Amino acid sequence: MSRIGKLPVAIPDGVKVEVSDDNVVTVKGKLGELTQKIHKDIKLEFEGNVINLTRPSDSKEHKSFHGLSRVLINNMVEGVSKGFEKKLEVIGVGYRASATGQLLELNVGYSHPIILQVPDEVKVEVQQEKRQNAFITLKSFDKQLLGEVAAKVRSFRKPEPYKGKGIRYVDEYVRKKVGKAAAE
């Protein structure tokens, strides 16, 4: 049996989970509402404040969708109750970031500033102090959308391996290469 799939999903207070006939799971909470279609063979069983997922057989397809469905439902429940957060750091001389509403403006070494329209479900905060690196904080109840937006922001200037300049996640480690001076 799938180690992930057999774990129960706990439903905290204030979160409502509904399943339609065509296996579309809707989760409502204080932070928002999420829907996700899961595999037709995966069955959800409600026992009080716990959801258990079961699969009909041990085929490779059913095993993989069992764990995936459980993780998706758990992320939805956690998202509408607590929310998710990603932090990025802008490192480099003259690199700046600023946020006005849902617009994120980045100055990361190009001849023009990059302006990104962030979706309404994602909240953006920027902390920029003089002579310090800028920190971009992204918060949302949708983990998938949050990861996509964070990856998009990072893609504008990935950290380079020689000086480490660029946009990186706060907990990311960038392995630095030795420059050409070491070749002699």
pTM for the full predicted model: 0.89
Contact 28, 76 (CB under 8 A): no
Q: Which whole-number Å values give the CA distances from 132 to 35, 89, 92, 129, in the listed order?
A: 40, 10, 10, 5
Taking alpha carbons only, the member of 29, 11, 5 closest to residue 79 is 29
pLDDT tier, 184 (very low <50, low <70, confident <90, very high otherwise)? low
The total of other beta-carbon atoms located within 10 Å of residue 9's CB is: 21
- Distance from C-alpha of 168 to C-alpha of 171, rounded to nearest angstrom: 8
Instruction: Give the residue with greater pLDDT, 6 vs 106.
Output: 106
Domains of the chain from N-terminus onward: 9-81 (3.90.930.12), 84-172 (3.90.930.12)
pLDDT of res. 179:
82
Nearest in space to 72 (alpha carbons), one of 118, 23, 110: 23
